[in-house]
Structures are given as C-alpha cells and as structure tokens.
Amino acid sequence: MHARPEHLPEFSHPPLVELALGVQFAPLPNYSSLFLGDVFRIFQDEFPGFQEHPPLNPQFETFGGGGTDAEFSIGLGPSVAFNRAWFLSTDNSHLIQFQPDRFILNWRRQADGNVYPRFDNIAMQFKNLFSKFDEYCKARFELPININQVEVTYFNVIVVSDYSSIGEWLTVANLSRFEIEGFSANFSTVVGSDGGEPIGRLHHEIGSVVGRNLASKAFRYNLTCRGAPQANDIDSALDFSAWAREKIVTRFTETTSGDAHLRWGKK
C-alpha cells in the first residue's frame, strides 16, 4: 500500500464524519438479481446487515470540447436498473455499497465517537474486500472487473455558532456582514498531473445543516475527487485513490482557516 506522503497535512481530530472509497466498472454481463444473494454471502460474516436503496447513475469525468462538462453523465449503466445494496457491519460504522457497476466502501462516524481508522487502513480494507468480489466475478462471469472510474469522498461537518461565521472556518466564503439563514455552494476544479494533463475533477459541496433538535447549526463541506485510473485493475484504482486523497486533504487545508486548523489539531 501507499505510504502517507510526509508533506500531507494531518489533523488529530478533523471534522470528518464519513469517508467513501469506491470504483465504477463496466456492468456485469448477464447479471440478474439472483446473483445478489451470492455477493451478500461473500461479505455476510463481516457485514451482516442488509438494506436496499435506489441505484447510483453512471458518472464519468471527461475533458476537452467546449464548455464545462462537470455535470455530464453518460448512460452506460446496466440496461435494467437494479437497486443498490448496502451491506452493513454490526456497529454500522462500515458499509459496502454494491450494484452491478459500483463497489463502494464507507466508513461512518458513530454517536459514540468511534476513532477514524485513517485512509490507508480503509484503502487496505477496500482492496481485500474488492479482491473477494473480483474473484467471484471471474469464477461466475468468467471476466475480471473492468474499472473505469475511481471516486474518493470526504464528508465533513463543521459545527458553528451561527451561519454568518462560516468565514472563521472556510476561506472560500466570508458572510460575516450578513445575517445568514442558510447557505449552499457547489463548484468543481480540474486536477491534473505535474505536466498539466487533466486526470480528474475535485468537486466541492458546501451547505448549511441543522441538527435534529434544531438548536445546533453546522456546515457540511464535502470534497469528492473522481477520475479514470491509468489501467482497469484494482492496483491502478488504488493508485488513483491515493492521489485523490492527497488532492482532497491539500484542498481542505487550503480552503480552511488557520484558527480552524488549531481547533482540529493540525500537526
């Protein structure tokens, strides 16, 4: 696995509430819902919980041509829309999301404040789980998984006294002159190689949220890096995910304030 880059900022208690690492791949040929039970049984000992959710649409980051294509989607998913399955760990801190063209591992912070296991450990767990799934597909469909996109998302929740104080935390917005009732912003940037070649996109999602008791206020700040790996295998996907993690953590540090870094224990 990849060693954590020494220059990468690190926080002892970041506002991270969830992390997702996933791949999109060419739809499994001749897949039917009958195979879902097989896939569930692969992971059932570690992920005994089960839920069904609507499927995710295919997403491809493409470059070139006129104008932005950040929201552009190509409909190359399964001809039949199968539901997305969630396989959940006993404590609900980890889940696998599966559909015939997606495999995603999520870590989620729980109310008891479970410790963030860090990206490298999540990536190692993802590789082990995905390898089991890949072996099943080779045996059942006589084909390896053909990965076409990799996606890493950091979900952050920043608790604030009021929404106007967002500028104390995020350097991309200063709204202190206004009484803010709510706020949302989404934007994306192209991220590339050292030579300037576009490799992926970094999507930013900022929005105000209210706690369940309507007393606490917070901002969500989600960063997603998505793009195509150099090759279609798991090792290339993990190479991309390590690169994506570096871009996300760097951007998070660039767009948050020094005071916030002190509160989050920047090392």
pLDDT digits 0-9 by tens, 27-69: 988 888 889 999 999 999 999 999 999 999 999 999 976 544 4
Per-residue confidence at 240, pLDDT binned at 50, 70, 90?
very high
Enumerate residues 6+ apart whose C-beta is below 8 A from 21.
104, 105, 119, 122, 123, 126, 151, 152, 241
Q: Confirm whether 54 is domain-assigned.
A: yes
In a domain, residue 8? The reply is: no
Q: Is 190 within the bounds of a domain?
A: yes
For the chain, give the mean pLDDT.
Answer: 89
Residue 9 lies in a domain: no
Q: What is the pTM of this model?
A: 0.91
Tell me whether residue 239 is in a domain: yes
Share of the chain above pLDDT 90, in %: 69
pLDDT, tens digit, 9 for 90 and up, residues 68-84: 444 444 444 445 678 99
**Residue 5 resides in a domain:** no
Query: Cα separation of 178 and 3, whole Å?
Result: 44
Tell me, yes or no, whether 215 lies in a domain: yes
Which residues form the domain of 106? 16-263
pLDDT at 177 (0 to 100)? 67
Give the strand order in the sheet containing 217-227. Answer: 49-53, 84-88, 94-99, 102-108, 16-25, 147-160, 217-227, 198-210, 184-192
Strand partners, 200: 191, 227
> Given a cut of 60, is residue 148 above it in pLDDT?
yes
- The reply to whether 2 falls in a domain is no
Number of domains in the chain: 1
